[in-house]
């Protein structure tokens, strides 16, 4: 299985979108500072994930989310699984 995931910094509130095959390990590495983009931004928590059969599908979806360049879009994705209402 391959995953597209969204994590949020508990320190800054910023989101990070990524893809991987080993989700728990990847999030652990984000929190240990292994990723330049998320280093020094505090602990991060998983907010959203999607599963895919192939790496290509996951990468394609990751790119689709990143192309939106929209915090509102990301928060709407998260709200779908949490049941929260996102203001427009």
Domains in the chain: ranges and CATH: 2-82 (3.40.1440.10)
Structure tokens at 41: 């931004």
pTM exceeds 0.75 for this model: yes
Q: What is the per-residue pLDDT for 84?
A: 59
Give the span between the Cα atoms of 65 and 75, in whole angstroms: 11
Does residue 87 surpass a pLDDT of 70? no
Exposed / middle / buried, residue 53 (Cβ in 10 Å: 0-12, 13-18, 19+): exposed
- What is the DSSP pairing of strand 2-9 with strand 15-20? antiparallel
Q: Report, as an integer, the average pLDDT of 41-69.
A: 93
Structure tokens at 26: 């990847």
């Amino acid at each position: 299985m391959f995953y597209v995931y969204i994590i949020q910094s508990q320190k800054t509130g910023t989101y990070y979108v990524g893809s991987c095959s080993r989700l728990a390990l990847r999030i652990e590495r984000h929190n240990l500072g292994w990723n330049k983009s998320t280093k020094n931004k505090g602990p991060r928590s998983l907010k959203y994930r999607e599963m895919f059969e192939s790496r290509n599908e996951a990468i394609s979806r990751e790119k689709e989310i990143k192309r939106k360049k929209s915090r509102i879009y990301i928060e709407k994705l998260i709200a779908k699984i949490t049941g929260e209402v996102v203001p427009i």
